Structures are given as C-alpha cells and as structure tokens.
C-alpha cells in the first residue's frame, strides 16, 4: 500500500530567516543527481516549416538542453505532391513536365534522368543519336552549375554572407537566358523527349554558351575570395556537421554530401551513361566530411562542369549549328512524334501521331531502375510496366529525401546556429523530397 506523505507549509517570515541563515554558511557540494535536477527540463522547439534556413517546407522538432540540441526529428510531407501516383495515370511522355517540379533548380537534369529510365525500359537507350547525347550532357552540366550556384548563394546567406548570394544569382540569370533560348522556358523546361529532344540547338547558341563559361569562372574566383578564407565563414563551417565516411555510406547519402565525406563515388564515373565515358573530368572529394568540405566539393564540381561543357561543345557532332543535319531523335515513328509535314501528307505517320498522343509509347512488360548523377545526388527512377503506354508503378529515389535522413544522427550536440549551417551545406530541395 502506498503511504500518504504530508506537506508542511511554513510562514513566509520563517522561510526568509532560513534563507538568510543559509547565506552566512559556506556552500556545500551537492550530489550529482541534485545538479541534474537544478538544470531544469529540456525545451522543445519547432524549426520551420517556414524558417528561411530550411530551404522550403521542412519542419524539424528540436529538443534543446539550453543551446545544445539533444534530439532532432525532421518532419517532411507538407507539400503533399503525389507525383508517383500521378505518373501511374499518365502516359510516359505526359509525365515529363512533372519531373521539372522535382528538383526545380535543375529541371533539365530531371528531364534527362527520367527519359533515360523510360528509354532503358523500351530498350532504345543505346540507339540515341550522338548529337542528342552530347546536348543532353550539356543540359545536365548547365543544370548542375545553376543548382550549385543557388545552393552556394543560399548557404552563404544563411551564415551571413549576403554578397555571395547576389554574385551567384547574377550568373544564374545568364544560365536562364541560355535555357530560355534553348527550350523556350526559363524555369520548367520540359525539353527532353522519350527517344530524343524537343528541338535542336538554335543558331549561335553554342557561342553564347562559351562566353558564359568564360565569365562564370571569374565568378567562381570572386565567390571563393569572399568565402574560402573568410574567418567568419570558416568558423561557422569547419568541424561543424561532420559526417564520417562509414556513416555517410550507411545512411545512403549520395552526391556532394557523400563525396564531401571522402567517398569517391560518382555515377558518371561508376556507371557511365550518355557520353560521359568519352569525357575527361575529376571527382572532387573531401577529407573531414564537415560543412566546409561540402562547400569545397561543390565549388570544384562547378569547375569540372565547365570543363565538361567545353569538351561537349568541341566534340558536338554536326558542329554548333548542325550544318551536316545530324539527327537528335531515335528514327522510330512509334517512339518519337513524326515530322509534322509527314503527318499532314501520309497516313502511316498520322496513325503513329494519333497513337502516341492518345495512348503513349507501347512499353514492354518488365521492371527497370536507372539512376543519374543529379546536383543533389542520385536521382533514380524505378518503373514497373505491365505493358502499354502508362507505368503500372513508378518510384522516385529522391536524393534530398535520402540525404535528410541523417539529420537525427547529425544534429544532436550542435547548437541552433549550427543547424542553419548544416542545412545549407546539405543543399536539399523539398520539391523532390515531398515527391
């Protein structure tokens, strides 16, 4: 039987007398358990989902012991997108615009990754014309530079360096001008097609791209001069958010976050696609795995992308303006829309156009997975087909979602101000996280 404990309430005057007497006596050391009680209870703080440093609608529930984080629980899903279920009710071609909205900072790269997955299912991935493959690599590397520039600018702004943000956005505007001239849109491009591309390079576009590449390298130097040896930036990022090599592998990290921890793994080298095996480039890696290493890796990746773009423009089949008339689409009327003049004059092309628009490409039964090296990491598409023009199941491996899974392990024992730097260094986009 539990015992009832009586509480005795003393007069305020007696309490004041005891307190004055206690002040006159030397303090005695308190037991460890009493010190823990004196520290008080821990506080729970909601960071996001509208906090600017969360780069979107991410909410992190932080448990704090003073300024120190003892527990972190990321909450995702505020966008409620449902792209994977949408794909199951559309033809393969109709889903291309939805891939723009995944990592919306690199829509061209998303288009290419999805198209390559469908082409692998159709068995035409090795039939792509060389000019199409080179232009796709150009699109992917421009998207990588654009995404890293925004990630760098936002990261620097998170830790107090606003000037870098203005520099990087100036260069991204030039990239958007190139993308608009190529695709007709600046943000959501929908440029890639199953079996090829929507259109060829416009006249003079290659020369404009070369001029941009020469200018953006100077911007890299300016940004590095502002950050790499900046005492405030270094103190905010060095030895903060350290991800050891084995932990990065265990959590399935990919992209710059994995390479920043010293793992030299890049799908363009490990499992080459398009014409990456014909191009020369290096894979930068870090040594510590902290925020500073991840910053340095992205800076060097942008320089390597410039190197790749120069090689593609030099080796482009047909030359910059395709004077020899190199094809950019697979020569198959059942996969790619036939030329409009043939549709208006021939019955066979008219039938192909009608079937492609209404029913989509006739994919064989089976299942495939294809992963591409996107700016955020490995963007993968798993497609399960039962035949016909729509996938039975489509699963997207979103690198931002996987990279965020390390937050419960990474954030404890850091301060709140460190969280801002860590999130900026991980460089995620909630559009593909909440796919």
Q: What is the pLDDT of residues 115-126, one digit of tens each?
A: 999 999 999 988
pLDDT at 144: 95
pLDDT at 339: 82
Structure confidence by residue, pLDDT tens digits, 396-416: 999 999 999 999 999 999 999
The DSSP code sequence of 44-96 is: EEEE-SS-GGGSSS-EEEEEEETTEEEEEEEE--SS---HHHHHTTS-TTTTH
pLDDT at 55: 64
What does the pLDDT average to over 365-387?
Answer: 94
Say whether pLDDT at 38 is over 50: no
HSE, side-chain direction, 13 A CA sphere, residue 65: 11
Structure confidence by residue, pLDDT tens digits, 76-111: 888 778 889 999 999 999 999 999 888 888 999 999
Q: What's the rounded Cα separation, in Å, for the pair 125 and 118?
A: 8
Widest CA span in the chain: 107
Structure confidence by residue, pLDDT tens digits, 257-303: 999 999 999 999 999 999 999 999 999 999 999 999 999 999 999 99
Tokens representing 220? 């890299």
pLDDT at 17: 55
Task: Grade residue 393 by pLDDT with cuts at 50, 70 and 90.
Answer: very high
Spatial CA neighbour of 425 closest among 288, 308, 303: 288
pLDDT at 40: 59
Say whether pLDDT at 52 is over 80: no
Q: What are phi and psi of 371, to 5 degrees?
A: -120, 135
DSSP annotation of 101 reads T
């Amino acid at each position: 039987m539990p015992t009832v404990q009586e509480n005795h309430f003393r007069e305020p005057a007696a309490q004041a007398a005891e307190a004055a007497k206690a002040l006159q006596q030397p303090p005695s050391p308190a037991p460890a358990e009493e010190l823990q009680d004196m520290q008080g209870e821990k506080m729970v703080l909601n960071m996001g989902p509208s906090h600017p440093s969360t780069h979107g609608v991410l909410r992190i529930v932080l448990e704090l012991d003073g300024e120190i984080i003892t527990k972190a629980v990321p909450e995702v899903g505020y966008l409620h997108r449902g792209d994977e279920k949408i794909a199951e009710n559309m033809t393969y071609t109709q889903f291309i615009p939805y891939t723009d909205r995944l990592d919306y900072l690199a829509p061209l790269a998303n288009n290419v990754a999805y198209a390559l997955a469908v082409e692998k299912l159709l068995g035409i991935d090795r039939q792509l014309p060389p000019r199409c493959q080179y232009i796709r690599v150009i699109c992917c590397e421009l998207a990588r530079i654009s995404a890293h520039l925004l990630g760098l600018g936002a990261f620097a702004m998170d830790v107090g360096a606003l000037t870098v943000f203005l520099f990087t956005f100036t260069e991204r505007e030039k990239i958007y001008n190139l993308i608009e001239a190529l695709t007709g849109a600046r943000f959501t491009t929908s440029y890639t097609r199953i079996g090829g591309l929507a259109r060829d390079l416009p006249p003079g576009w290659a020369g404009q791209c070369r001029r941009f590449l020469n200018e953006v390298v100077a911007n890299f130097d300016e940004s590095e001069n502002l950050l790499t040896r900046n005492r405030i930036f270094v103190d905010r990022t060095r030895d903060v958010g350290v991800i050891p090599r084995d932990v990065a592998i265990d959590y399935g990290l990919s992209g710059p976050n994995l390479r920043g921890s010293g793992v030299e793994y890049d799908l363009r080298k490990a499992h080459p696609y398009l014409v990456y095996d014909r191009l020369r480039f290096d894979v930068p890696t870090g040594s510590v795995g902290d925020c500073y290493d991840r910053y340095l890796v992205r800076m060097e990746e942008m320089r390597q992308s410039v190197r790749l773009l120069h090689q593609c423009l030099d080796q482009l089949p047909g030359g910059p303006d395709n004077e020899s008339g190199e094809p950019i689409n697979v020569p198959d009327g059942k996969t790619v829309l036939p030329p409009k003049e043939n549709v208006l004059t021939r019955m066979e092309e008219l039938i192909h156009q009608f079937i492609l628009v209404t029913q989509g490409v006739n994919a064989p039964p089976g299942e495939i997975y294809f992963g591409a090296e996107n700016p955020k990491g490995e963007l993968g598409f798993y497609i399960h087909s039962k035949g016909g023009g729509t996938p039975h199941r489509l699963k997207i491996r979103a690198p931002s979602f996987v990279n965020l899974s390390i937050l419960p392990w990474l954030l404890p024992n850091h301060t709140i101000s460190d969280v801002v730097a860590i999130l900026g260094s991980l460089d995620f986009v909630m559009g593909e996280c909440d796919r």
